[in-house]
Structures are given as structure tokens and as C-alpha cells.
Structure 1
Amino acid sequence: MKTEQQTILKAIEKIHNCAKGSKLEREKFHVVENEIKQLNIYFELSTNESIILASIISLSILEDIGLKDLISYYDMESLAFLSYYQDIQNLVDRNIIEKKNAHRSKVDEYSVKKHIVQYILADKAIPNELIQISIKESSFQDFLDEMDKLSDMRDVNEIEYNQFFYEFKALFEKYHNYKLVAFAAKNLEPIESFVFFDVIIDAIAQGENNFSSSLQSTVDDFTNSKRSSYNFITDFIEGKTNLNRLNLVEKDNTNFSNRHKIQLTEKAIMMLNEMEGIKIGYITSQNEKLIYPAKIPKIKLLYNNDEKMNLEPIIKSMPQSSFMQLQAKLAEKNMPKGLTTLLYGLPGTVKTETVFQLAKRYNRPVYKVDIAETKSMWFGESQKLVKKIFTDYYKFQKQEKVCPILLFNEADAIIGKRKSAGSTSTSDTENAIQNILLEEMENFEGILFATSNLVDNLDPAFERRFLFKIKFDNPTIQNAAMIWKQKLSILTKKEALFLASEFKFSGGEMENIARKCLMEEVVLGKRIDFEKILFFCKNEKWNSKINQKTSKIGF
């Protein structure tokens, strides 16, 4: 009578029991030759592969196992077991067992694929397509995975620096066909490439781009000395690396270099999506109280010679690197670190617009404060509001990547000459506001602009608090003619020069006339000609010589 063949599970059990303490010596397995042949046929394996698979299945029932567990079970020396490593890799390649790359650990772990276990328990044949070696094309994610593993090995000192550096460069050669890898190889130094891709790995792992990478630890994972780490971090903070120049990685605003967090820039995220099809959200914690450069329309402003000369040192201080350098030098000399500027002059002379265009040009958000709003009708509230303005500003300064601009718009009410104490409760409140403002400006750390129409009424105490005091006049005839041409392109050069000579208008007044012309065309459907423009000019000012009837108005 023919006996029925035993189950695969039973064959696995017998082989595993026989393998204990066997040192994998072949003569120890004569008693299970039939079972080994059964596994050879079932899985299409070699004898060595079948024996090792039986042990992995048996030992990994409750938890994943490492090579150390197998070596111990077989009672072998580690060196002797190395010759069987390829057999284990073959089982991985055949999708029978799973290799789990260790994270922050020196050992890899193995377990049997779950669907394989199900076929074994059911004692059913495994479809060939499930255990055939599949030729897997590499992907950009494979590059990131290999780099992540290499970084982990370096982090726990599993690999010597020279070997780490060699394998790091080899990765770029292996994956050079990927656009972002090729871009980094061409444009970045090795340490810059490491930081760049490590930040990408962290962002993908976190599911968002939100300053989740430590600058110090990321750099330390690559360098071979504290001096090298210090030099690179210093260069990065000062904006001197290719990561800065190419706008790929940005830092937070902490004051401590060893605590800086870094993230991908918006440009880098777009490159990652366009080149490799990986999408990551860009976190921008924009504050609704700030006016960001993207929302400021770009306008070409024309200045008189004196205005140009006085603005020059301010303009040169506005780039972030220049501003930080200036603050450092001022601090060395125990001088106030703030850049405080008063722009004063007639209404409409582009004082406020100058601040916005500087913000636009140097990518600085603006915290605009309209002083009239701080003069609360409730006694005592105004002082609190002024104090809060500076508290909020310093909070925004910590949150933003670059130092914001604090703009006191139309500040006449708080920088004018102080009134006699006790004259009225309103006067006392205004004096209290001025005292708070003077106190805050004394030790101000940031960028402050105030605009005012006052010329002669500035309180002497504020003269010292403002580092720069720049007067804005109506444009010269030449500048006014150019502004007319900017605002109203239908004007000829001769007509623009005539208007500039005839009417001493500010830029704001010229803007008003241009708006009236536009309304005339859009709303009334009337074609604008020079005569109509001249009519608007003659009626623009209350005290125009041509419009004598309106030179005085009574209330």
C-alpha cells in the first residue's frame, strides 16, 4: 500500500529539528533527505536553501530573526556562515522571505512572506509567478533608501569614514540617470548633496516639509571632524554655500547655530515634483497681520538726487546678510542694533511706497501700523496697544525667515512735539504713548520706518531715536515728466514736460489724475485727450492759482 506524502509543514519541522547544532554539515541531514527533496521541489530550491528556509520559517513564527539567531541555532562560527549568505539572498530575491533593513541598528532581520505561510498551512502549491525572481527596475526612491541606510550606518559608526565617502560617491554614479541626482552631482559639493537629500528623506518620512531636520546632526552625519562641521554650518548660516545660492535649503530663525532646523525651499519642492514626481506640501506659516512681498505690486519709483543719496546707506543695509553683519558690528560697539528711519515730507511724495518697494526688493514682510488706530477712545488702552505693537513685532521677527519691517504709517500724531502735562486727559494719553514709543525705540532691534507729513513739528526726543531722517520733496521737473509718462502713456514727451513745468504735483497727485482719466474712459466711455488731462490738473489742488474760487473753504 502506497503511503501518502507528508505535508510541507511537517517536512519543514523535521528539517529544522535536524538542523539544530548541525553546523550545516551535510552528513547530519541523511535522515531528512526525502523532506529536503520535498522542499526542493515545492519551492524550486537548492538543498542549502531548503535547509535554511526551514529554519527561518520555524524561528520567525513569533518575531523577525537576524543572522545571529541562525548562527546560534546551527552552532556555527560567524565566519563559517558567510558562505551561506548568498543562499539567504536568493530566498529574498525569490520573494519567499523578506529582509527588513535595520534602522538605527547594525543587523538586518528576516521573516517569511505572509502569503507564503498561507500556502504552506493550506498545503497547496505556490504559483510560480509568486516565487520567481522579478527583475526590478531601480527608482529614485531606491536611491533615497540606499542613502538613508548609508547615513544610518555612518550615524552608528558601523562604517568607516573613507568607506562611507566611497559608497556615497558610488551611489551618485549608480543613480546618475535620475534628474535630481544629476543636478546635485553637477551643482553641489558632496556635503551639500548629502544635506540636500537627507532633508528630502526627512520631509518624505514626516509627510510634510516643516523644519524637521536638524542642521547640526545632519552635517555631523557626513563630516569627519568637528572643525569640518563648524566650517560648513557657519558658511550655511552666512548664506555662502551652494544650497543658499541655489535656494534649495532654508533655516529657521533660532539664534543658536547648533539648534537650527532646516527644510526644503519652495523652489526645491517644485524641483522634486517636476524632476522625480514626488509631491511634498510646503509649509508657510504666513501671518495675517503681515504684508508679504508677493502681495506688493512692483512699482518703479523716481527719486530726486538728495533722496537718492540719503536712501543709499539704507538700501545697502537691506539684504539679509548685510543687515545681520551690521547688527553684529553695532553689538560689538555696544550700540543699538536697530535700523530706524523717518521719511517725512509733503503728502503724496512716495514715502510709504518707498518702504513697500524696499520690502518687495529685499523680500521682507511688512508689519504696517496705522497710528490713528492706536489712539483708542478708552483711556489707558492706547498705551497697551503701542506696547503690544512691539511685542507682536518681536514675535514675528522670530517666526519669519528674514527680519520684517515695522512701518508706522502717518506717524504725525505720536512723533510731534509733546504737549504740556496735565493740560487735558487726551494730551496726557498722547504723551504717555510717546514715552512708550521713545522707550521701545531706545533699544529697538529690527527695521523700523515711520512716515510723516510733518516738517517742523518733530519732537526733539525723536530726532535722536531715528538714525536716518530723510526729507521727500515733490519730484524735479525731469522726474515729474517721466512720472507723467509712466502714469499716462498717451502723453507725448512735450506734453509730459509741460505738465511737469506747469504743475508742482507730488507723485500721489499725478496718480489721482491718472485714475480720473481711467474712470473717464472705463465708466463714461469717453476718449481722453490732453485738454481733458489739463482740466483735471487745474482742478486737482484746492489752492490752485487757476482755481481761485476754491482757495479758501470754510467749515
Structure 2
Amino acid sequence: MGYVTKRKARRNHFDRGLANREEYSINDMLARAIVKREALPVIKKEEVNNILEFLEKWEEQLDQRANEVICTDELICECKVLFMEYAHFPLVGTIEKMGLKSQELIVYLQLIWEHINGSTEVELNSICEKLFDKSARRLRFMQDVSEGKNPLVKMNLVELEEKRFLNESEIKLSPKSLQILADNEMMSFVKLRKRDNIIEPENITQRELIFNEMEMKHLMLLNQMLEEQWLNATRERLAKKNLPVGVTVLLHGAPGTGKTESVLQVARKTGREIMKIEISQSKSMWFGESEKIIKRIFTDYRAYCKQCPSTPILLFNEADAILSRRSNNIKGAVGQTENAIQNILLEELENFEGIFMATTNLVGNLDNAFDRRFLFKIKFGKPDAEIRTRIWKQKMPSLSDEECSILARRFDFSGGEINNVVRKMEIESIIHGYEPGLDNAIDFCTQESTAQQSAAVGFKF
């Protein structure tokens, strides 16, 4: 009836004894009815109305396996039920006649889902990691595909693009499979998927960047090098000399000094999309999951590069936590996980062929191994009084040059802090219907200064 859901208990580094336990959760509607002493609700089964919803449901099942909510055998059982229930869909019926075994069926439908959403090639290892909970089964499956023994290869349903290492090999649908999609009227659904973390250059608001002479010089060089003709020429020259062809950039400095905005403006000027990763969201509390997420980020980026006319930028925003110096005195699972994440990142950057940018506030604690892997390192300092005057004038043109100079000399603000004050003045103007002047700006600046000082008081960890 859908009242209770069973799943495998997830494990973190605090609870080592939960690996083989199962946990149960009660449906929210049922819980509310019990608390309010109401009649039990009728919980309707989620309907699947078309082939896209079927494939999305299939993807959800695979994600549950990847997140260790269910095991491989449970995934196979769930997918068998799902496949039999919706065999009336033409594509499902066509695939059913192929007689594929469960694990091949899961991989094949996953490839179809990825293709429909724009990923024409997928790393074989990434699919197998999602499917198999045992490394031996995963390796055996990958070897069979690589040696042409797997039914998907024998039936000419997939093609393998082999790399130097097996775990880097990519798999894609064959022309035969693409024809099957066309015969079942699926090709009209194929599209280039824009992920939630993709920023397109045409959607970036143009802003004038105001920095000192040295900062502007570095940014102009970066802009020029990322223009398509110069980037291609640079890569060709580096490749001929057997040097790394990837562009890696570290933007470091105090908070609010324009690091992230600089990346946005470089992307806008050079017409490049940004795959933005907020590192705070990638560091999971679940033991072992963060490493998988970091690997998946680079796998997704490589796949996305093949969809874009120009190489996109992979942006690690606020990357302090994973670029910091590695610990030699590792204690506990947390320390091991932190070091494992950094080792994965170092390995990825060693052979990186795209455009990687990272912003950080704490460059003083940067691990030496990361320091060597960044081709460009651009430092952003807090603006001096002259630069602050220009920023105030740009943000508040209603103020005179002298008034902007007064604010710049009196308040040692970063560009981000000036932005905060300007936003408050705009709100003041909207609510009270008048144009705030110098006195209002000084009041808001004083509040901003007080807030910054208060934030520095208390315990520091």
C-alpha cells in the first residue's frame, strides 16, 4: 500500500555496525494522519505514463544503488518488476525481445537514458560503479565488455572506445541501437541537457571589473589565451613538446575581492560555458561518498566537453577545504577521506585536458602538490583607496567624485562589502521613495563595519 519503505541502512564513519542492517521509513502522509488521529490516507502508486517517465524511474533505481540505499541484487529485482510492468511501451517491448540478462539490460537502458539527455559517450567504469556493489563483479563485467565477450558487444548494441586504462574506457550506443531508437520514435527526445550547475555565457551579466594594474594584466592574459584561436595554438605547441595541454588557474585572495566574478566575465568574453561546483555541497557527511562525487564531477565534465562547441570551464568555487595541505598524521576515517579526496583531485589534474579554475580564500595553506599543478595563480588583494573610489562611483553614480572618495578613504571595504552597502541603499530607495545620499551611505557603511567586527569575535576553530 506504500505505507512503509524498506532500505539498506546507510553507513557513515560514526556507525560501523550498520552495514548489514535494514531500516524502515513511514510515509509522510501516514505519519501526519497518525499524529492528527485521522483516517489512514489512500496512497496512490506513482504512475508512469510514457517512455521518458519509465527511463527516469529506471535512473532513480540506479541512483539508489549508487547511493547504497539498495544492493545490486535488490536493484536487479526492482528493475525486473519495472521492466515487466511496462513492457507495453514499444521501446521496452523491442528490447525485451533481445533476451538480455538483467545486468546488461540495466546498462543498456542507462546508456539510452544518457544518450537522450545529451551524453553520447559514458565512462564504462562510472556505469559499473553505480550498478555493482562488489568490485569483483564490476571488473569482470568491464573485462567482458573490453574483450568483446559481453552480449551487448556481441549483439552490436554498444561500441567501446578503449583508453590507456580500462577504467577510462568509454561506451556508447552503436548505430544499430540508434536505429532502434529511431524506429521507436525516440530520436525526437534526444537533446543536449543543460544541468543545473551549467552557466551559459549569454546568461552572464556584463560587469566592468575594477582591479589594480597587476591584477588586470593577469586577467587580460587569461582572456587572450582562452580565445579559441590562441587556446588551440597553445595546445598544439604544448602537445608537440609532450607537455600538459590543460589550462589550470587558481584565483586566490580575501573574500569579496572579485574572484568568482572574474571567472564569470572571462567565460562571457570567451564564449565558454561554466560547470560550477560548490565544494561545500560536494563534501558529503557519508563516509566514502565524497570520493565518488569528486570522481563523478570529472567524469561528467569530460562527457560535457564533447557536447560543447568550445571547451567549457570547470569551476571549483570556494575550494579551500580540498586544496589545503594534506595531513601526514592521519587519525580516523575523516582524515583518511580528506586525504583520499585530495589524492583523487591531484590525479585528475595531472592528466587534465580541459579548463579548470578554482577560487580560494586561504592560499597560505595550499598543498605544495596543488601549487605545482596550477599553470596560472592570480592573487586578488583588497582594493586600495583609489580603486575603492572607482568602485563606489561605478556602483553609485549619483554620488559625486568627492563623496565617493570620502567613502573610500573612511571605509576599508572589499568590492563585495561595497556591494552589500549598495544593495541596502537600493532597498532604502525603493521602500522610502528617495535617492539615498552620502549620509545614508556612511550609516550603512558603519553598520557593515560593525557586522564585520562582530563576526570576528568569539571562538575560532
Contact 1:420-1:427 at 8 Å conserved across structures: no
- Residue in structure 1 matched with residue 457 of structure 2 by the alignment: 552
Change (3 A) 1:383 1:471: same
Amino acid at match of 2:297: I
CA contact (8 A) 1:346 1:473 kept: yes
Are 2:423 and 1:532 equivalent residues in the alignment?
Answer: no
Partner residue of 1:399 out of 290, 307, 310: 307
User: What is the alpha-carbon distance in structure 2 between the residues aligned to residue 553 and residue 453 of structure 1?
Assistant: 20
Query: 1:396-439: per-residue Cα shift (whole Å, max 9, x none)?
Result: 11110000000000000000111235313211111110000000
Does the 8 A contact of 2:223 with 2:270 survive in 1? no
Q: Which residue of 2 aligns with 1:326?
A: 234
Q: Is the 8 A contact 2:346 2:370 kept in 1?
A: yes
Give the match's secondary structure for 2:286.
coil
1:56-71 aligned within 5 A:
none
Shift in Å, 1:313: 2.7
Q: CA deviation at 1:309?
A: 2.4
Q: CA separation in 2, counterparts of 1:554 and 1:292?
A: 41
Shift of 1:393: 0.6
* DSSP 3-state at the match of 2:448: coil
- Secondary structure of the 2:357 match is strand
Q: Is the 8 A contact 1:415 1:459 kept in 2?
A: yes
Measured on the aligned residues, the alpha-carbon RMSD in Å equals 2.2
The equivalent of 1:301 in structure 2 is 209
Query: Is the counterpart of residue 336 in structure 1 residue 241 in structure 2?
Result: no
- Deviation of the 1:350 alpha carbon: 0.5
What is the aligned residue count? 272
Task: State the distance in 2 between where 1:353 and 1:406 align.
Answer: 15
Q: Distance in 2 between matches of 1:402 and 1:541?
A: 43
Of the three residues 365, 368, 373, the one matched with 1:460 is 368
Equivalent residue, structure 2, for 1:382: 290
Matched, 1:347 2:255: yes
Residue 403 of structure 2 corresponds to residue 495 of structure 1: yes
Aligned residue among 276, 284, 287 for 2:194? 287
Q: Would you say the 8 A contact 1:421–1:428 is kept in 2?
A: no
| Equivalent in the alignment of 1:435 | 343
Deviations 1:272-300 (A, max 9, x none): xxxxxxxxx9x973522411011111111
Rounded Cα–Cα distance in structure 1 between residues aligned with 2:223 and 2:318: 21
Instruction: Give per-residue Cα distances to partners, 1:441-470, cap 9 Å, x unaligned.
Output: 011101111000013111111110111111
**3-state SS of 1:399 partner:** coil
Quick check: 2:223–2:269 contact (8 Å CA) kept in 1? no
Shift of 1:476: 2.6
Q: What residue number does 1:479 align with?
A: 387
CA contact (8 A) 1:341 1:468 kept: yes
Q: In the alignment, does 2:325 pair up with 1:417?
A: yes
**In the TM superposition, what are the counterparts of 1:513-532 in structure 2 within 5 Å?**
513-525=421-433, 527-532=435-440
CA distance in 2, matches of 1:454, 1:294: 31
Are the aligned partners of 1:542 and 1:551 in contact in 2 as well (CA < 8 Å)?
A: no
Q: 1:431 to 1:551 in 2, by over 3 A?
A: closer
Q: CA deviation at 1:527?
A: 4.1
State the partner residue of 1:198: none
- Letter aligned with residue 489 of structure 1: P
Aligned partner of 2:407: which letter?
L
Give the 3-state SS of the residue equivalent to 2:449 in structure 1: coil
Q: Does 1:446 align with 2:446?
A: no
1:369-412 alpha-carbon deviations (Å, 9 max, x no partner): 01111111111110011011111111111110000000000000
The secondary structure found in structure 1 opposite 2:363 is coil
Question: Relative to 1, partners in 2 of residues 1:284 and 1:302: Cα closer, same or farther, differing over 3 Å?
Answer: farther
Deviation digits for residues 145-182 of structure 1 (CA, Å, limit 9, x no counterpart) = xxxxxxxxxxxxxxxxxxxxxxxxxxxxxxxxxxxxxx
Q: Give the secondary-structure state (helix, strand or coil) at the position aligned to 2:199.
A: coil
8 A Cα contact 2:247 2:353, kept in partner: yes
Residue 524 of structure 1 and its aligned partner are, at CA, apart by 4.2
Larger radius of gyration: 1
Cα deviations by residue, 1:213-236 (Å, 9 ceiling, x for unpaired): xxxxxxxxxxxxxxxxxxxxxxxx
Q: Which has the higher contact order (CA 8 A, sep 6+)?
A: 2
Letter in 1 for 2:214: D
The secondary structure found in structure 2 opposite 1:436 is helix
Measure how far apart 1:477 and its partner are: 2.0
Task: Give, in whole Å, the separation in 2 of the partners of 1:356 and 1:362.
Answer: 10
CA contact (8 A) 1:367 1:393 kept: yes
Q: SS where residue 287 of structure 2 aligns?
A: coil
User: 1-side partners of 2:382 and 2:330: how far apart?
Assistant: 39
Stretches of structure 2 that go unaligned for 5 or more consecutive residues are: 1-117, 119-187
Q: Which residue of 1 aligns with 2:183?
A: none
Query: Could you state the TM-score of these two structures normalised by the residue count of structure 1?
Result: 0.47
